[in-house]
Amino acid sequence: MSGRLTVIGLGPGNADQVTPEAIRAVTEASFFYGYKPYLDRLELRQDQTRIASDNREELARSNEALAKAAEGHSVAVVSGGDPGVFAMAAAVCEAIEAGPPEWRSIELAVVPGVTAMLAVAARIGAPLGHDFCAISLSDNLKPWELIELRLLAAAGAGFVIALYNPISKARPWQLGRAFECLKAILPGTTPVIFGRAAGRPEERIEVFLLADADAAKADMSTCVIIGSPETRIIKRGDKPALVYTPRSATGSRK
């Protein structure tokens, strides 16, 4: 008899941003698969088991979780943020498509969570107030040439752009190169938000103009939001500035 597999989004790391649905799903599962730092956020009972794996083992993790669910168990795959945004829900679906036929009969549920760009946006105002897109700068699963093409297309169309996986030790140059590409399309006065660890004790939210944006200020815990030509900064004296994108748009001012 097939079991159940639930893919759970734990949000950006603040316990207050874990949804009641996610909390309920955690109480109902017996086996938990995920990246160790995400599993460490869970307070599990003695009858619940965690199986940790490395961050780059998404497909292997999905296969193991599905195999356990196929044995009749209640299984959870946990993910930071939202599991459907550059995370585990897609990996689980890929594994089901490529796996044995019996995996398709497993009861599957995806529990959404607060993704990084929403947490960062909420801390600074409303930079996602008009049309926006999200692009991962990781070239592990797609060529860098495609990333550049998408960046230029999004900027040229006037989208606000949220950048995930902006930089790492293995990829120290890509965010800087992304800024170079965008400077060819966007005004230098375009706001750029560096949102690190939004909602957590180590949170750091900084706003720069694109002309002055320094890629060295980001790490893998940072979500970078690049405004459109419409995005504005509201100075408020001693209070932190607000960054927002108006609900209406007139097109590029360049």
Q: Is the pTM of this model over 0.75?
A: yes
pLDDT of 171 reads: 85
Residue 49 three-state SS: strand
pLDDT of 254 reads: 46
Task: Calculate the CA 68 to chain-centre distance.
Answer: 27
pLDDT of 250 reads: 79
Dihedral, 177, 182, 184, 188 alpha carbons, nearest 10? -110
Domains of the chain: 4-114 (3.40.1010.10), 117-244 (3.30.950.10)
Residues 6 or more apart whose CB falls under 8 angstroms from that of 42 comprise 10, 26, 32, 50, 78
The one-letter amino acid code at 226 reads I
pLDDT of 9 reads: 98
Compute the residue count for the chain: 254
pLDDT of 251 reads: 64
Residue 186 three-state SS: coil
Q: What is the DSSP string of 70-101?
A: HTT-EEEEEESB-TTSSSHHHHHHHHHHHS-G
Residues 6 or more apart whose CB falls under 8 angstroms from that of 226 comprise 155, 160, 161, 162, 163, 182, 186, 190, 191, 192, 193, 210
Task: Give mean pLDDT in consecutive 10-residue pieces for the chain, a chain of 254 residues.
Answer: 91 95 98 96 96 91 98 97 97 98 97 97 97 96 97 97 92 95 96 95 96 95 96 95 93 52
pLDDT of 92 reads: 98
Residue 64: CB atoms within 10 A of its CB come to 18
pLDDT of 233 reads: 97
Taking CA atoms, 161 is separated from 119, 143, 228, in Å, by 15, 19, 8
CA distance 5 to 202: 33
pLDDT of 1 reads: 61
CA distance 221 to 28: 29
